[in-house]
Amino acid sequence: MERPVWAPRSIDITVPSVSRICDFYLGGAHNFEADREAARKAMAFLPGLPKIMQANRAFLRRAVRFALDEGVTQFLDIGSGIPASGSVHEVARAARPGARVVYVDHDPVAVAHSQTVLEGDDDADIVAGDLLEPRHILTSPQVERLIDLNRPVALLLVAILHFVEDADDPYRAVTELRDALAPGSLLVLTHASYEGIPLPPERAGGAVDVYKDIRNPLIMRSREEIARFFEGYDMVEPGLVPMPHWRPETAPEDEDPYAFSGFAGVGRTA
């Protein structure tokens, strides 16, 4: 397998990565054959996976614009993945020049590509970091330079928490991040669930097994389990809902049925 010139020498391109699989779903070019093979296997069970990821991105863009309307101009995007068209800094700047964004990801390709995209951008940066190590993120030079934790921050956890197993206690990490944020901060979150998928759970479970096989387990939580991530937040209307129902800009009934897979919500700290 030939290594593309943009691929960091330190990574094994034969091992699939969640962020690169997502890049493939979204039509990106920063993925390897191992990622494409895993994606195609998952799509054999759940063909709507690209539609689900598109719905995630569309929700993210609406939530960023909502945050700006609320006067929040600082964004911490953890699990940001490989930059795609309509990334957070692009959406934010279109509405509010000077908005500041720090991306965080642990995939070396995502970090390297983000560094290239953000080169020369004084108001955006990328941290090589892990959601499960909030202190490393919060004390990073990039966050200390760009994010004022004494002012409201929009914390973006979009399509990441379902890749954290219960044994790793994702609730602890989210609570630690919440406690570091100023009053008026926002938590923007999406999460996979069997609820809403237009297929029997046992069929969708085949896609879940693919992720387990590549050692990136996909944890399908219930709406109630997902709601726990918002403890300490006041939910913004309309609450925790399928992605197309969160402050839609087009008629939800026009959406692909797969777009309703999982849940999205925004909470605000008191």
Phi, psi of 96 (to 5 degrees): -145, 90
Q: What is the pLDDT of residues 181-233, one digit of tens each?
A: 999 999 999 999 999 999 999 999 999 999 999 999 999 999 999 999 999 99
pLDDT at residue 269 tops 70? yes
What is the reported pLDDT for 10?
Answer: 74
Nearest to 128 by CA among 151, 111, 145, 150: 111
Residues of the chain above pLDDT 70, percent: 99
Q: Are 171 and 243 in contact (CB under 8 A)?
A: no
**Average confidence score pLDDT of the chain:** 95
pLDDT category at 61 given cuts 50, 70, 90 is: very high
Q: How far is CA 130 from the centre of its chain?
A: 13
CATH number of 18-269: 3.40.50.150
Instruction: Provide CB contacts within 8 A for 124, sequence distance 6+.
Output: 89, 100, 101, 102, 103, 118, 146
What is the reported pLDDT for 7?
Answer: 72
What is the reported pLDDT for 208?
Answer: 97
What is the reported pLDDT for 1?
Answer: 59
Over residues 24-37, the mean pLDDT reads 94
**Cα gap 3→219, rounded to integer Å:** 31
What is the reported pLDDT for 226?
Answer: 98
Instruction: Provide CB contacts within 8 A for 93, sequence distance 6+.
Output: 99, 123
pLDDT at residue 60 tops 70? yes
Q: Given its phi and psi angles, is residue 79 left (phi above 0), alpha (psi -120 to 50 degrees) or beta?
A: left
What is the reported pLDDT for 129?
Answer: 97
What is the reported pLDDT for 85?
Answer: 81
pLDDT at residue 65 tops 90? yes
Over residues 38-64, the mean pLDDT reads 97
**Cα gap 256→22, rounded to integer Å:** 18
Question: Taking the CB of residue 228, how many other CB atoms lie within 10 A of it?
Answer: 13
Q: What is the pLDDT of residues 99-133, one digit of tens each?
A: 999 999 999 989 988 999 999 999 999 999 999 99
- Domain extents in the chain: 18-269
What is the reported pLDDT for 84?
Answer: 85
pTM comes to 0.95
Collapsing DSSP to helix, strand or coil, 116 comes out as helix
